[in-house]
Each structure stands twice: as C-alpha cells, then as structure tokens.
Structure 1
C-alpha cells in the first residue's frame, strides 16, 4: 500500500471525489454539505493524498491548513472495495503525522450527525478526536458535528 500526494488529475480520483460529493449532497441539505470539489481541493493551502494498492485506488484524504497552528481534515473517503480494511485509519495516521511534522498544533474536522457518518465519527473518536464547537468559518449547524484533536 502506498500513500501519495496526488494532483487530482486521474480519472479514478475524479470518480472517487464525485462519489464523495454525491453522498454528501444526498445525506445533507446543500447549505450543510461542506465537501470540497476538485477545484477547491487544488488550492495551495490543501495537500491531497490518495491510497493505492498497485493500480487500485483505495481512498483519499486532504489536509487544509487554516493558519500556522491549525488545520482541517477534508475529503476522507474509502472506495467501496476497500471499506473495513483499515485504509482510513492508515491514511488518517499519515495525515496526522504530516500535520504534526509541519508544526500544526490542532487538527479539526466537520462531519455529519446522521447514521451514514457514524463510522467516520467512530474512527475519529478512536484516534483521539473529541466534539467541539464550530471552527474556522463554520457556523453552528444541526447537520454538522465538529471534532478536534490537539497534536
């Protein structure tokens, strides 16, 4: 398994991001779906990784830097074929290690309260994240769960 910085140009990656966006918009009202599209994921304050096993895309995730001390996890997604195989845990650990090495002190994220997001919330809680209030530009939202972790 390899975790690589990705430029989001491959069709497999574009398809996985579109699946992610489709699911986010299917489970949350439009104003509460905070998933980033391809153009937003290419901004300079975001590093985007993909996880591969040979030529099979297993998942993706990103780190958005808000300032010198705070970052945010974005676009965590595991492909349907790779679910429940520990891919998300390995990628999350990679992102957290990279964030810490970059000098970030706090990592936060936004996810949903719906059952669809229960596995994600469990993964983050298992890795030391706890619920918090809105951060960065987020506002209170009944369709959002905010979580944070000090590095």
Structure 2
C-alpha cells in the first residue's frame, strides 16, 4: 500500500492502495462517476470504464481512502508496451479542491514510472465540467496530443499525454 500525506487545514493522511476486487462502496462510487459523465457528452463520447472493465487484468485500479472512507479512484490501463492510459480519476464531491486528485495522480505516475512505463496518456471531457481536471493534468506536466489507442477526433474530448523519466 502506498501511503501519502497532504496538508489541508491540518494534516490529512490519504492511503492509496491497489484494488483487487469490488466492494459495495467502490461500486457505488464508480456508479456515481458514470452517472456524473452522462450530462457531459453523448454516449459515444463517454469513455469511463465500468467496474468489470476496471478489474480486468490489463488495468491497475487504485482507491484513495481517508480515515477508512473512500475519497478517490484512479486507474492505469495498458495500451501497448511502455504506454498506459489514465482512467477513472474521480474525487469524492465532498473532498474536491483539497488535493486528493493531486495525490492520486502522483501515486499513479509513480506506479507507472516504477514499472518502466515511459508514457501515460488520457482522454478527458472538453466541457467546463472538466476544467479542474484539465488544470490538474497540466500542472502535472501533461500536454495536449493527438488521439491515441482506439480514440478518434471528437469535439467532446481532449487528449493529453506525459512522458515519464526514470
């Protein structure tokens, strides 16, 4: 288990651990994520994974908890050797703006780097709903890129990538 801390009106300890199996809390959390995405784009432009796909062997799902409560998720999905896709980044609405997403993103990039992954890419929405996510990814060094993997140009999507160094 990765453990990390961040300061926010006192010290909070956020624990980030790899998820190997579904739990009721995680299923609700990820169902809420899928529901949040419904208003942001038409169905063919929404690319969030459901629980069964997040638990597939080609995906590494992680959960962030604080005081035992689920506060965030993130995943890395294999695209090709050395290149993975960031998936299912979500912070609990009550914890948004408090650094949970930054801690999760740092942990995911560290996990990828430790395993020799050289590039991490992502697709995110283009609407104002995703403004905070765009800011988070840009601060972490992601740059806009062309569609990757099986994605195609889509006015509802923005594609970003970052190169990792050892």
- Give the TM-score category using the shorter length: over 0.9
State the partner residue of 1:135. Answer: 148
Alignment map for 1:17-96 (pairs within 5 Å) = 17-96=30-109
Give the match's secondary structure for 1:65. strand
State the partner residue of 2:158. Answer: 145
Runs of 4+ in structure 1 deviating by more than 2 angstroms, as ranges, are none
Q: CA deviation at 1:127?
A: 0.4
Q: CA deviation at 1:7?
A: 2.8
Runs of 5+ unmatched residues, structure 2 = 1-13
Q: CA deviation at 1:120?
A: 0.3
Is the CA contact (8 Å cut-off) linking 1:73 and 1:109 kept in structure 2? yes
Larger radius of gyration: 2
Instruction: Tell me the alpha carbon deviations over residues 33-89 of structure 1, each in whole angstroms, 9 at most, x when there is no partner.
Output: 000001111111100000011221110000011122100100000001211110100
State the partner residue of 2:7. Answer: none
TM-score by length of 2: 0.89
Matched, 1:110 2:123: yes
Q: For 2:89 and 2:143, locate their aligned partners in 1 and report how far apart those are by CA, in whole Å.
A: 17
**Which is further off, 116-125 or 10-19?**
10-19
Larger proportion of strand: 2
CA-atom RMSD in angstroms:
0.8
Give the match's secondary structure for 1:13. helix
TM-score by length of 1: 0.97
State the partner residue of 2:5. Answer: none
